[in-house]
Amino acid sequence: METFDFYLDTKVTGWYRTPFEIEANTLEEAKLKAIEFVKSGETTYISWEQIDDTLETMSVKDNDGESTEELYTYSDGEIIWDNGEK
């Protein structure tokens, strides 16, 4: 009897933390600058870390009916099943 390998990809949601510093004269000024910095999208270029215990499996409903689990054959990466509604 042969053995065949598969893998299951699962879509999840989670939280990541991006630490950064802001220079300002007061905390209130720093808060305003931090908000503008985040809104500008500049945090994209800063490294981040995953916050432990925040990953949750995403439901098909939350993913607009698209699959959140996809089963593949390992040998050629062929998708053989998914749990999507579309």
**Rounded to 5°, angle at Cα 16 from 11 and 17:** 180
Q: Tell whether the model's pLDDT for residue 29 goes beyond 90.
A: yes
72 DSSP assignment: E
What pLDDT score was predicted for residue 38? Answer: 95
Backbone angles phi, psi at 35, to 5 degrees: -60, -45
**Predicted TM-score of the model (pTM):** 0.70
**What DSSP string describes 30-64?**
HHHHHHHHHHTTGGGGS--EEPTT--EEPPTGGGT
Average pLDDT over the chain reads 96
